[in-house]
Amino acid sequence: MKTLQYNSPVILTYTILSFIALILTMITNGAANWYFFSVYRSSFSDPLFYVRLFAHVFGHASFEHYFSNFLTILLIGPMLEEKYGSRTLLKMMMITALGTGILHIIFSSSALLGASGIVFFLILLASYANFEKGRVPITLILVISIFLGREIMGAFIFDDNIARMTHVFGGVIGVIFGYYYNNKGKSRKG
C-alpha cells in the first residue's frame, strides 16, 4: 500500500496556512485579512504591524486569487525546496515577504495581500535551475526580459489594482538568490 508523503514541508505548510487564512477571511467577512493578512501603513506601536510585514503573503481576496497563486507555487516550489533545502527556501521566502511588505508601505498608501511576490520570486529563482558557473542560460534572459517587460508595461497600461512593484521586487529577490546560490556551483541544503 502506498503512503502519502509530505514531500515539501515549507511549500505544503505555506499552502495550507494560506488556505486557512482565506477561510478565516471569509468567516470574518474580510476582517482577518485587514487585521492580520494585509500590509499597509499603520502605527509602529501596533504589534500587528510587524506581524503583517510577513503575514500579508498568506492573505488572499478570493478562491480565484488563492488558486492562481498556489497553482504556480505548488508546481515550482517543491523542486526549489529540494534543490535549496527547506530552511534555505523558508529564509528566502521570509526575506521576500518582508521586503515586499516594506517596499509596499514606503511607496503605496493602499493595502497589499497575496502570494504574488513569492510567486515571482519562485519563478525567477527557478530560472536558475540550469545555471552553470560561467554560463548564462538563454532561458534565464528570456524569463527576466518577458517578466520585467510585462510588469513594467502593465504598470503604465492597466489600472487593475495589481501590485506590480511587488511582482518586480519578488522577481529581483529571486534573481539575487538564484545568482548567489548557483554562482557557487553547488546547491545549498539547509
Q: In sequence order, what are the beta bridge partners of 39?
A: 112
**What nine digits make up the cell of 109?**
498608501
Q: How many residues does the chain have?
A: 190
SS3 annotation, 43-108: CCCCHHHHHHHHHHHHCCCCHHHHHHHHHHHHHHHHHHHHHHCHHHHHHHHHHHHHHHHHHHHHHC
Give pLDDT, residue 158. 64
Give pLDDT, residue 156. 72
Give pLDDT, residue 189. 53
CATH topology of domain 9-182: Rhomboid-like fold (1.20.1540)
Cα–Cα distance, 40 to 134 (Å, whole number): 42
Model-level pTM? 0.88
Give pLDDT, residue 187. 47
Name residues of the chain where pLDDT drops below 50: 187-188
- What are the sequence ranges of the domains in the chain? 9-182
Give pLDDT, residue 116. 93
Give pLDDT, residue 190. 52
Q: Compute the Cα dihedral for 13, 79, 73, 170 and give only its sign.
A: positive
Give pLDDT, residue 50. 97
